[in-house]
Amino acid sequence: MRLKDYNIILLLLLSILGHAQYKISGVVTNAKTNLPINKVEVYDKVSGLKATTNAKGYYEFETNKKSMTIVFFSYEFEVKEIELSSTNSAQVNVALNDMSVSLSEVEITSRRKKIFELSRLKDVEGTAIYAGKKTEVVLVDQSMANLAANNARQLYSQVAGLNIYQNDDAGLQLNVGGRGLDPNRTANFNTRQNGYDISADVLGYPESYYTPASEGLKEIQVIRGAASLQYGTQFGGLINFKMKEPNPNKPIEFITRNTIGSYGLYTNFTSVGGTKNKFSYYSYFNYKMGDGFRPNSKYESKNLFTQIRYQFNDKTKVTADITYLRYLAQQGGGLTDQMFLSDPYQSNRERNWFQVDWLLYNLNLAHQFSEKTNFTFNFFGLNASRDALGFRTNRVDQIDPGNERDLIKGDFKNFGFETRLLSKYEIAQKDATFLIGTKLYKADNYQQQGPGSDGIGPDFSFYNNEFPNYTNQSEFDLPNFNLAVFGENIFYLTNTFSVTPGFRFEYIRTQSEGFYKNIRTDAAGNVIFEETVEDNQDFDRSFVLLGLGLSYRPSTSFEAYGNISQNYRSVTFSDININNPAFAINPNITDENGFTTDLGIRGNYKSILSYDLGVFGLFYNGRIGFVQKVLSDNRIISERGNVGDAVMYGMESLFDFNLKKIVDLSNDFSFNYFINTSFINSKYTKSQQVGVKGNKVEFVPDVNLKTGIRFGYKNFASSLQYTYLFQQFTDATNSVTANLSGVIGEIPSYDVLDISLAYTFKQFKLEAGVNNVLDNAYFTRRATGYPGPGIIPSAPRNWYTTLQIKL
């Protein structure tokens, strides 16, 4: 489709037809003090959220309904319902009664689930459209996960189909994939925090070395492949971490959490926040340290987050975020299959280190032009570095000889802005919502590889003069530029059926300017060949992605949805410029493209069952992966490149049963059972590589099951969770037997059992748990580089306990 065609589409979408509506407004106050109450949610009992009160307790919204039931909801006050029957605009002032008793954690959770369904995103939230998309929201405050260690297996237990690397007992990095996408550092998702990018380089190196502390999160939003139109071109979709917000009704709120656990684990999380007049703030500091469950695996992490808000008036507010993370981790290295069978927790690497320094900043302006039109401007940036140091070889069972180490340094500097304008209007007397946005992104990255010291400790300096004949030397400047324009429009064809078409135009320019050295030595270490190769590349491309979402919602308890969206993923500079002894890079490697589609039903049945059942398809052209190749000298190597075209399809489901209502327990109890399943089939449909066509796709377990029971009584809560994943391949040739590096081979089936407990007493909360109760020895990852290469084992049985104080 030509770009001028989109001009016609945009003009049609912007043909907004006015239609008279009734304005409902008022002020919500505390019945005891007569003071205004901030952030009271005002709902139409049928259609959902309509407005939220501001600092003055004021709310307003427009409707064309002649009668409705309005619900006023706040956790600290009693819920109030008002029947409204009027054909004119009305002012409805409400005084809410304070709760006579403090609610326990269990009662809050029960109350929230009973009245409102908050596990999925609404059609429109802020300046974003989610109609017709597969969305899932992790409510972190309600989770029974080991938050101190960011235990992703527990935290994402109700998000269907996710494949998670489980090799980090402190949760320093998040490794999430799904539907056949490599979980490594969540590189196949667009990862954001409060709506802005947090990865190293969105296009050139979309890996997330920074993961927010779970104890500071309000919720985690997961939007699947159709998110590519609003958030970028990744096949996985979007993961957006929403941080906790300032308490709107207190000038200061203080929380501190201290955790101890197995293998020397200690963490402290301390936060402070509040609101005073137009000013509000929230800040936390998170410290982690531990020895790790393997030798040579100690770590230390420091993470600071600060948010400041200023509400100029009812329509305009500014928010500023600053995030800083610094951590140093010793890495025990990878294992061969034989080493893992002998002792899964051994290590023969004591000189491997990894260091991250991450600074994120963001400035957000939100302005409401009218009740129907909202505007946001996000300016964001990153100044960060990542240093990897150690002895790497394709024979991971080889003892470290103590020579110079391989050092890879990466500096990431980028900034950008994203603007969004969302407007609600009517066309042909039917509701509609229009979104238009643009994003500009500029990165200036630097990467250098060369000889590190021959010492033991974390010395991240190059020693080129001391080791001039080191073979893996390179240096590159890696600038990137991206300009995108995107738009979507919800057309409500009837009161129950909506269609949401969308588009995204992308211009991408990636550059590589630098050199690498070819140095060959004889057996005595003498140089017999040396050359410096200039390698400068400049790659421009522009394209349009299209998508369509459908939603049929005959009631608030049922929805049928479907979507289809094109996807695109550019080659990263780590695919091209890193010299890795464990594998080779195909020099003809290129970008990937394809599309994703979802079709499903979701909703709830009489507050007894919450469900989401759907099928999906992911169609991949030029998928990048690994194949085993035989060279002319009969050596077998692993090569990374465009393997071929592939398709992944399957069924995902989540069923959450409210057993308390089924067995008719009192409100003192909470009792839920959930089962989350994913059944996926996959195959390569086309390939120029020998022995690939018809094979299964990597990182696709046929069965992915998570199930569990949650039980609570008053201030006591407990959780039992079981996880099972079927075996999966790590290369396109479906190798079962591993090579010497341990990089290629099967990941066997595994299962894990976790138990969590919590008890709340006044301002104190005690949490405890045991992860991997059955003490199974398993692994979920064969690392191609650091922290390997080779098998990276998962944690054995371990325990934790947390004491929280809230003032």
- Intervals of the chain under pLDDT 70: 1-21, 45-48, 86-88, 99-118, 524, 574-583, 630-636
C-alpha–C-alpha distance, residues 738 and 213, integer Å: 35
Give the three-state DSSP class for 771. Answer: strand
Q: What pLDDT does 740 receive?
A: 76
Query: Is residue 610 a contact partner of residue 119, using CB atoms and an 8 Å limit?
Result: yes
Question: Which residue is associated with the tokens 């060369």?
Answer: 450
C-alpha–C-alpha distance, residues 721 and 669, integer Å: 19
- Going by C-beta distance under 8 Å and a sequence separation of 6 or more, which residues neighbour residue 605? 557, 611
The gap from C-alpha 766 to its chain's centroid, in whole angstroms, comes to: 28
In this structure, how many other beta carbons lie within 10 angstroms of the beta carbon of residue 342? Answer: 10
Q: How many residues appear in the chain?
A: 807
Which residue, among 166, 619, 168, has the nearest Cα to 176 in the 3D structure?
Answer: 166
Which residue, among 221, 266, 212, 259, has the nearest Cα to 239 in the 3D structure?
Answer: 221
C-alpha–C-alpha distance, residues 189 and 7, integer Å: 30
Give the three-state DSSP class for 576. Answer: helix
Spell out where 522-557 has E strands. 527-534, 537-555
C-alpha–C-alpha distance, residues 230 and 232, integer Å: 6
C-alpha–C-alpha distance, residues 243 and 271, integer Å: 12
Question: Which residue is associated with the tokens 């009192």?
Answer: 666
Give the three-state DSSP class for 340. Answer: helix
Q: ∠ at Cα 600 (185, 551), nearest 5°?
A: 105
* Domains detected in the chain: 22-98 (2.60.40.1120), 241-530+550-806 (2.40.170.20)
Measured over the CA atoms of residue 180, residue 184, residue 188 and residue 190, the dihedral's sign is positive
Half-sphere exposure of 718 (CA within 13 A, CB side): 9
- Going by C-beta distance under 8 Å and a sequence separation of 6 or more, which residues neighbour residue 232? 190, 202, 238, 484
Cα–Cα separations (whole angstroms), residue 83 to 77, 92, 394: 19, 11, 72
pLDDT tens-place string over residues 6-34: 444 444 444 433 344 678 889 999 888 88
Query: Is residue 46 a contact partner of residue 457, using CB atoms and an 8 Å limit?
Result: no
In this structure, how many other beta carbons lie within 10 angstroms of the beta carbon of residue 583? Answer: 19
Give the three-state DSSP class for 307. Answer: strand
pLDDT tens-place string over residues 538-547: 889 999 999 9
Half-sphere exposure of 119 (CA within 13 A, CB side): 24
C-alpha–C-alpha distance, residues 334 and 347, integer Å: 8
Tokens for 472, please give them.
């893996």
- Going by C-beta distance under 8 Å and a sequence separation of 6 or more, which residues neighbour residue 208? 173, 174, 185, 186, 187, 191, 198, 199, 200
The order of strands in the sheet holding 48-52 is: 48-52, 41-44, 67-74, 77-85
Q: What pLDDT does 469 receive?
A: 85
C-alpha–C-alpha distance, residues 710 and 721, integer Å: 9
DSSP secondary structure string for all residues of 49-83: EEEE--TTSEEEEEE--SEEEEEEEETTEEEEEEE
Q: What pLDDT does 578 receive?
A: 58
Phi, psi of 634 (to 5 degrees): 70, 5
Q: How are beta strands 592-605 and 558-569 bridged, if at all?
A: antiparallel
pTM of the model: 0.87
C-alpha–C-alpha distance, residues 62 and 371, integer Å: 8
Kindly calculate the radius of gyration of the chain based on its CA atoms and give it in whole angstroms.
Answer: 27
